[in-house]
Amino acid sequence: MDKKKIEIEICTGTLCHVMGGSELQLLEDHLSPEQKEYVIVKGCTCLDFCSDSSKGKAPFVKINGKCLSEASIPKVLNYLKTLERNDLHESGNVDPTGTAKPDSKTVF
């Protein structure tokens, strides 16, 4: 069974870039060959999450439509591992910190 695509959008706006987002542009270099088959990484001029303090702090990344704040390569990779391990990319049981939310389907 093929894995579903995971789309990662990296904010390349000024604030995100200055706050560490520039390193996120190298994210694809840290993906395994298998991940590169189903993870799509692209830059976005501005995700506009910085205008809403409830979204957290820059830099921001959007993974399958969900905001990940204070993003770093290790944090994004951890989020991806959580998605892979628990197949949560459809159920939405991952909070913005990249941690799986417990439910009846999640096993820790």
Measured between alpha carbons, how far is 45 from 10 in angstroms, rounded to an integer? 9
Q: Is 64 exposed, middle or buried (0-12, 13-18, 19+ CB in 10 A)?
A: middle
Cα–Cα distance for residue pair 24/70, rounded to 1 Å:
11
**CB contact at 8 A, 58 and 48:** no
How much is the pTM? 0.76
Conformational region of residue 64, where left means phi above 0, alpha means psi within -120 to 50, and beta covers everything else: left
d(CA 12, CA 42): 10
Per-residue tens of pLDDT for the chain, all 108 residues: 467 889 999 999 999 999 989 999 999 999 999 999 999 999 999 999 999 999 999 999 999 999 999 999 999 999 999 988 876 445 555 555 555 454 433 221
What's the confidence (pLDDT) of residue 10? 97
